[in-house]
Amino acid sequence: MGADITALIVDWAELENIPVLERERALFEAADPDDYDGALDEGWAWLPPAPASFPSWCARYEFGGTLGSFKPHFWACERWETIREHVPDDLRTALDTFLAGLFWAPPWTDSDPQDEDDTEPSYGAMRTFCPPPDVSVLAQAWSAVGPRLEGLREPFDVHAAAPGEWIGRFEEFSRLLHGWAEAVEEARRRGWGLIGLPI
């Protein structure tokens, strides 16, 4: 059994109104309320017929074809690591930025979320913690990547294709990226942040 991930977009002002020691519990309860049956396969959990108990300060995004598992995210990262040296520098830089939130600590960086400065708050089990200013950076990166995404098909097919495995086809890679872009764009439009929880 692999790790799971649930993506939330969050009204940061409302989150900051919750006492610090209660925030993680509040986020887990918001992401997985008692009356959520998990029937949504893809998209937003706040749209009908989503449960009425989802709070107005956050919404859950389901990545299509992942069943909530983090494995597709991990393997998308592996595929990208395989092809990134075969794409133009500007596209590589933009996609590195865009994917950092989706993968948390990508292998092409030396950063480790556990090595943060002691002055930074601890976010415990959260896989991704992306305040509104960082969401804007991700959205800007996607604006550079989105129109050129199809250009990754050839390097993917040549260097990373693994039919029958997780994210083994370019279409699966593209679908996951478009899902992340949808979450990022909705958060940016609202001025909200993004959080990934292991649910």
If the chain, 199 residues long, is cut into consecutive pieces of 10 residues, what is the mean pLDDT of each piece?
71 92 87 61 57 73 75 88 95 92 48 38 53 93 96 97 94 92 93 86
Asked whether the beta carbons of 14 and 57 are under 8 A apart, the reply is yes
Asked whether the beta carbons of 10 and 27 are under 8 A apart, the reply is yes
Rounded Cα gap, residues 24 and 122, in angstroms? 10
Element (H, E) at 43: strand 43-44
Question: Which candidate, 124, 121, 135, 105, places its Cα nearest to that of 24?
Answer: 124
pLDDT at 124: 40
Query: 């998209």: which residue's tokens?
Result: 43
Asked whether the beta carbons of 185 and 192 are under 8 A apart, the reply is no
pTM of the predicted model as reported, rounded to 2 decimal places = 0.79
Query: Which residues make Cβ contacts (< 8 Å) with residue 98, sequence separation at least 6?
Result: 138, 141, 142, 145, 177, 180, 181, 184
Query: Which residues make Cβ contacts (< 8 Å) with residue 80, sequence separation at least 6?
Result: 95, 99, 106, 160, 173
Rounded Cα gap, residues 196 and 199, in angstroms? 9
Upstream peptide bond of 49 is cis (omega within 30 degrees of 0): yes
